[in-house]
Each structure stands twice: as structure tokens, then as C-alpha cells.
Amino acid sequence: MFNAQQVIESTSHWVGMIASVATIIATIFGVLIFFCGTVAVTDNQGTSGCSGFLIYDPLSNMLTYTLPSEEEKDYLIDKIHCYRDQIQKHPKKATLYTNIGEADRRLGDLEAARIAHKTAIELEPTLQEAKIGLALVEQDLGNTAEANKTIQEALAQHKNAIAYLFQGAILHKQNYINGAELAFQQAIRLDPKAKKLISIWKL
């Protein structure tokens, strides 16, 4: 029969084991999500809770994307609830607004998406992710000049693989294939692992 000391030691042992396993799982999950610096296609498993940027969890069919599947719709609605709950606690956190903007864009509410990204930019003018998100919204609205201007602003702020990847996606949607190819080449030059995402986009 266990005495109190043995129970405590046994409990401590199992708590330690569970904590270790949780740390390993979290590390593996992070590696799976964050290739190419921070962008990965994760089939609706990307940002955990309200953390991270939804823009870094693009759809695997982004370049041919029309309406979300029911699974994607449920995922995005859950995300929006999470972001809005967090806004109640942190009303000035720009990250939350730009995440709502990307979720709204995927759900097809483009005007709401535009407002959310612009709110994020007002709160944090240097937030590159909000500018990338706004550029995607403008492209979806058919405002190609504004989309190109906004993604160029994001690139002028910080030339990285992420911004070039989305510039390539925008130009591809405009059927400017040469420009898209150059943008994707720049992304690969900055981060060779970007080639994996481009291949998932079937280019």
C-alpha cells in the first residue's frame, strides 16, 4: 500500500513526464508550422488559439481559392471568436485586428476585412502582416493597383520571403506570370524552403 510520501513522489513523476511530453509535442508542432521563417500551409491547424498571424497559415489552394469549405468556415469562425474575446482584454493589439481581417477575407466579407486591416495599421503603422493582408483584400476586390501599391509598401518596409511569396500570389492572380515568377524567385533566394510552399500552390 502506498503511503503519502510515495503518492506524492509518484504524482510528481507523472506530472514531470506529462510536462516533458507536452514540451516535445509543442516543439514538433512549432517546427511543422514554422518553416520558411514563419509561413506554412497547415490545413486549418496553423495558429494555436489566438497566437501568431493567420496570414502565416495560408490555404493550400490559395491561388485558386473561391469559397471556404465547411471545415474551413468553422475554423475561421472559431478564430474570429477567439480574436474578439482577446480584443476585449487588449483593445489596442493590432495583431488581433489583422487576424480578424484575414479570417473575414477568407469568409468572403471583404469590406469587413479591409476595415479590420486598416484598424490594425492605424494601431501599428509598421505592422507588415496587416499591409500584406490588406493587399490580398484589395486584390480580391479587384483593386489591382491598390493591391500592388500596398504589397510594395510591405516590401519596402522589410524585404523577406513572406512578403515576396504573397506578392507572387497577388501577381499570379493578375495573370502577370513573369512578375509572379520573379517574386517567387526572390522568396526562394531569401529562404530556399519557400520552394515547398510554392510547389504546394501548384506553380
Q: What is the pLDDT of residues 120-142, one digit of tens each?
A: 999 999 999 999 999 999 999 99
Q: What is the pLDDT of residues 177-187, one digit of tens each?
A: 999 999 999 99
Q: Residue 62: its pLDDT value, please?
A: 65
Q: Which domains does the chain have, with CATH numbers?
A: 69-143 (1.25.40.10), 159-203 (no CATH)
Question: Measured between alpha carbons, how far is 164 from 183 in angstroms, rounded to an integer?
Answer: 5
Whose cell is 479590420? That residue is 116
One-letter amino acid at 119 equals T
Q: Residue 142: its pLDDT value, please?
A: 95
The model's pTM: 0.76
Residues 58 and 41: beta-carbon distance below 8 Å: yes
Which ranges of the chain would DSSP assign to H, the alpha helix? 4-33, 70-89, 94-107, 110-123, 128-140, 144-157, 161-173, 177-190, 194-200
Q: Residue 48: its pLDDT value, please?
A: 56
Q: Residue 158: its pLDDT value, please?
A: 94
Q: Residue 41: its pLDDT value, please?
A: 45
- What is the chain's alpha carbon radius of gyration, rounded to the nearest angstrom? 20
Q: How large is the average pLDDT for residues 35-55?
A: 58
Range with the largest mean pLDDT of 7-21, 54-68, 141-155: 141-155
pLDDT at 33 over 70: no
Phi-psi region of 108 (alpha: psi -120 to 50; beta: other; left: phi over 0): left
Residues 120 and 98: beta-carbon distance below 8 Å: yes
Question: Measured between alpha carbons, how far is 58 from 64 in angstroms, rounded to an integer?
Answer: 12
φ, ψ dihedrals at 155, nearest 5°: -70, -35
Contacts of 165 (CB under 8 A, 6+ apart): 36, 39, 183, 184, 187, 194, 197, 198
